A and B are shown apart, each in its own frame.
Chain A
Amino acid sequence: MAAMSLLLRAAAAWGARRAAGGSARLPWAAGAARLPGTVAPVRYSSHGKRMFIIKATNFYDARFLSLLRFYIFLTGIPVALFITYVNVFIGEAELAEIPEGYVPEYWEYYKHPISRWIARYFFDPPEKNYEKHMALLDIEAKKTDLRMTELEARRLMRQRGDGPWYHYETPDKNLIDNSVKSTPDN
């Protein structure tokens, strides 16, 4: 603001000098290239003329950035404080050799205390995951085997004709009534 008023004052002084020597110069260059507040040299009591500056609004931008900062820091600052507390007062684990005869729990393979806590209370042990995976594979493998054997059995029964499938029951030939065609005149 102060620089703006200094600039306007300098421009007003320059304009005053220009106007005073304007008769010696070209007449059409007298009123060219002026700042809006410096058309006529005037003495103002305050810091330059009060200007109504017309520019595009930054209300929405400022509001957006303010809201963004608010919502990020709303949870960001507590989380940062918590993580700082954990790092300073609890600290990370130290690497050690597995002692003889000791089987570490599955969360004791992580370094950071928050990772250990999450692994211990939220996630399943990786052994359980592994076994679940193997159980699914086992079921699928058994299904595949059964389907392959079924296809093989079908193929053989169709080929040999001695199994219960591809075997259509026909009535006994003793049940056929031949009296319809037994005389030549029917």
Chain B
Amino acid sequence: MAEGRDRDVYTEPSPRTPAVPNPVTFFQAFFSYVVDAPVTFVREWIESRQAKNKFYYYHQKFPRVPDLSECMEGDHLCFFEAEAQWRRDRMVDQQIVEIVRERLGACKQREGPNQFQNCAKEIEQLAQVTKAYQDRYGDLGVHGNARTCLMKQKHRMIEERK
């Protein structure tokens, strides 16, 4: 359904007044000659020049360091590295939630009136991901750090044990 209609099965009805040309095609042709073609030409010329000496950028991969729960007491360097890693992981989790939310939005936009039936998977996924995020990072507040998160995890485990 998302990849377009099968034109043989769902044939369009023949237009009743074929003598009158559609004015929209005139505007489309005007736009394509006056705006689209020059812009595309300039862009392709620029890209052909830039393709001669290309260079790349990468996404930085950070090596894993021992967690806060594996740090010795009083080892402030270990605390610092674990804190930095926790903040990076929290940013990654925030982006994960954002991506899942965008997927749901795209699904709703695509499906239109069928969204309640066809987007059930995305809705379920978003519910799970937000619940997981709330459980882990939820009420830590703006001054939340790796230590408070660890304490929250400890309390969650205590609650589970009861």
Verify that A and B bind, or say they do not.
Answer: yes
Chain A residues near B (Cβ < 8 Å): 88-91, 93-98, 104, 108-111, 113, 116, 130, 133-134, 137-138, 140-141, 145
Please state if B49 and A137 are interface contacts (CB–CB under 8 Å). Answer: no
Contact A93 to B49, CB < 8 A, known contacts A98-B61, A138-B76, A141-B77? no
Tell me, rounded to whole Å, the shortest Cβ–Cβ distance linking A110 to chain B: 6
Of B54, B59, B60, B77, which contacts A137 at CB under 8 A? B77
Question: Does B58 lie at the interface of the complex (its beta carbon under 8 Å from any beta carbon of A)?
Answer: yes
Residues of B within 8 A of A93 (CB): 55-57
Please state if B50 and A89 are interface contacts (CB–CB under 8 Å). Answer: yes
Please state if A134 and B80 are interface contacts (CB–CB under 8 Å). Answer: yes
Please state if B74 and A109 are interface contacts (CB–CB under 8 Å). Answer: no
Please state if B76 and A95 are interface contacts (CB–CB under 8 Å). Answer: no
Q: Number of contacts between A and B (CB, 8 Å)?
A: 55
10 CB contacts below 8 A, A to B, read A91-B49, A94-B54, A95-B58, A96-B57, A108-B56, A109-B60, A111-B57, A134-B81, A138-B76, A138-B77
Tell me, rounded to whole Å, the shortest Cβ–Cβ distance linking B146 to chain A: 15
Q: Which of B66-104 contact A (CB under 8 A)?
A: 74, 76-77, 80-81, 84
Question: Does B46 lie at the interface of the complex (its beta carbon under 8 Å from any beta carbon of A)?
Answer: yes
Please state if B58 and A97 are interface contacts (CB–CB under 8 Å). Answer: yes
Closest to A144 in B: B76
Of A91, A97, A113, A137, which contacts B46 at CB under 8 A? A91
Please state if B56 and A95 are interface contacts (CB–CB under 8 Å). Answer: yes
CA distance A113 to B80 in the complex (A): 32
Tell me, rounded to whole Å, the shortest Cβ–Cβ distance linking B25 to chain A: 34
Residues of A within 8 A of B47 (CB): 91
Tell me, rounded to whole Å, the shortest Cβ–Cβ distance linking A52 to chain B: 51
Further 20 A-B residue pairs, CB within 8 A, beyond A94-B57, A108-B57: A89-B50, A91-B47, A95-B57, A96-B56, A96-B57, A97-B58, A98-B58, A98-B61, A104-B60, A109-B57, A109-B59, A109-B60, A111-B57, A130-B84, A133-B80, A134-B80, A137-B76, A138-B77, A141-B74, A141-B76
Residues of A within 8 A of B50 (CB): 89-91
CA distance A130 to B88 in the complex (A): 14
8 residue pairs, one from A and one from B, having the closest CB atoms: A91-B50, A93-B57, A141-B76, A96-B56, A98-B58, A104-B58, A109-B60, A111-B57
CA distance A94 to B56 in the complex (A): 5
CA distance A91 to B43 in the complex (A): 12
CA distance A98 to B80 in the complex (A): 27
With most chain A CB atoms within 10 A of its CB, the pick from B49, B57, B61, B84 is B57
CA distance A97 to B57 in the complex (A): 9
Contact A109 to B77, CB < 8 A, known contacts A89-B49, A89-B50? no
